[in-house]
A and B are shown apart, each in its own frame.
Chain A
Amino acid sequence: MKLAVALAGALAFGNAYAFHDGGVATCDGCHTMHNSQLNTVMVGSGSPQGGAPRVAHTVAGTNTQFQGKNFLLQGSDDSSTCLNCHSGATLSSYHVLTYPAPAAGTGPVNRTPGGDFAWLTISEPVVGHASVVAGERHGHNIVAADFGLVPDTTLLTAPGGTYAASALSCASCHDPHARARYVDGSGVPVYPKLGSATAPIVGSGSYTNSGTPTATAALGTYRFLGGSNYSQMSYSNATPFTADPPIAVAPATYNRSESATDTRVAYGKGMSEWCSNCHVAIHNGNVNAANTALIHPAGNSALLSATANDLQGNAAGTTIGAIYNAYKMSGDLSGVQTASYTSLVPYEMGTTSLATLQAVTGTAGPVSTAGGTENVMCLSCHRAHASGFSSMTRWDNTQEYIVAGGAWMPGTTYPQYGAAMYDRNPTVYASYQRSLCNKCHAKD
Chain B
Amino acid sequence: MRLHALAFVLLASVIGLAPRDARAVPAPANVTAKYLYQLSSSTGEIPSSWASLIYDPGRKELYVVDRSDGTVGIFNDVGIEIYRFGDDSELGAVLSVDVIGDSGDLVVVVAEGPMRRIKRCNFRGEPKDEIRLRNLPAAFAKDFNPETVRFRDEKLYLADLGMMKVAVADASGNVLEVHDYYRELGIDKDKQGRTGPPGMHAFTVDPEGYLLFTVAPMFRVFVIAPDGKASSFGERGGAPGRFNIVAGVARDENGNIFVSDVLKCAVLVFNDKFQFQGQFGARGWGPGAFIAPREVAFGDGKLYVSQSAWRGVSVFELSFPGPASEPTAAQ
State the A residues within 8 Å of B (CB).
1-4, 7-8, 10-11, 13, 15-19, 22, 26, 28-32, 37-54, 63, 65, 74-76, 80-81, 84-85, 88-94, 99-106, 109, 145-148, 203-207, 209-211, 252-253, 257, 418-419, 423
Contacts and interface: CB of A to CB of B under 8 A. Distances in A.
Given A43-B283, A45-B284, A105-B93, A51 B45 contact: yes
Given A10-B230, A13-B218, A51-B312, A44 B284 contact: yes
Contact of A44 (B198, B283, B311): B283
B49 A40 contact: no
A302 B126 CA distance: 58
B70 to A, nearest CB: 4
Given A28-B244, A29-B263, A42-B282, 8 more contacts: A2-B228, A8-B186, A17-B194, A31-B238, A45-B23, A52-B310, A74-B263, A85-B263
The interface centre, meaning the residue of B95, B226, B291 with most chain A CB atoms within 10 A of its CB, is B291
B68 A85 contact: no
A10 B231 CA distance: 7
A26 B245 CA distance: 12
Given A1-B177, A37-B240, A93 B196 contact: yes
Contact of B196 (A8, A32, A253): A253
Nearest to B27: A38
A10 B230 CA distance: 8
A63 B291 CA distance: 14
Interface of B: 21-23, 25-27, 44-45, 47-52, 66-70, 93, 95, 111, 113-114, 147, 161-162, 168, 177, 179, 184-188, 191-199, 201, 211, 216-220, 224, 226-232, 235-240, 244-245, 262-266, 278-279, 282-286, 289, 291-292, 308-312
B contact patch SS? loop
A286 B192 CA distance: 37
B263 A43 contact: no
Given A42-B282, A85-B262, A3 B192 contact: no
7 A-B pairs with the lowest CB-CB distances in the bound complex, closest first: A44-B284, A38-B27, A28-B238, A44-B23, A92-B199, A51-B47, A252-B195
Given A11-B186, A40-B27, A93-B196, A18 B282 contact: no
B185 A7 contact: yes
A65 B22 contact: yes
A105 B110 CA distance: 13
Given A1-B177, A257-B114, A209 B310 contact: no
A278 B263 CA distance: 30
B194 A207 contact: yes
A75 B25 contact: no
A32 B310 contact: no
Contacts of B49: 99-100, 147-148
Contacts, number: 247
B284 A16 contact: no
A28 B162 contact: no
17 contacts: A1-B227, A4-B229, A11-B185, A16-B218, A17-B191, A28-B239, A29-B244, A29-B263, A39-B27, A40-B25, A46-B285, A47-B285, A51-B47, A88-B201, A89-B95, A106-B70, A148-B49
Contact of A99 (B50, B95, B192, B244): B50
Nearest to A202: B192
B309 A54 contact: yes
A74 B244 contact: yes
A126 B219 CA distance: 44
Contact of B193 (A18, A38, A89, A257): A18
A17 B216 CA distance: 9
Contact of A85 (B162, B193, B216): B216
A250 to B, nearest CB: 10
Contacts of A50: 44-45, 47
Given A7-B230, A13-B187, A423 B196 contact: no
A361 to B, nearest CB: 14
A38 B279 contact: yes
Given A85-B263, A148-B309, A252 B283 contact: no
Question: Which of A43, A47, A206 gathers the greatest number of chain B CB atoms within 10 Å?
Answer: A43
Contacts of B245: 84-85
Contacts of A105: 93
Contacts of B50: 88-89, 99-100
A30 to B, nearest CB: 7
B81 to A, nearest CB: 15
A41 B26 CA distance: 9
Given A48-B309, A90-B161, A84 B289 contact: no
Contact of B237 (A4, A26, A145, A205): A26
A37 B26 CA distance: 10
A101 B311 CA distance: 15
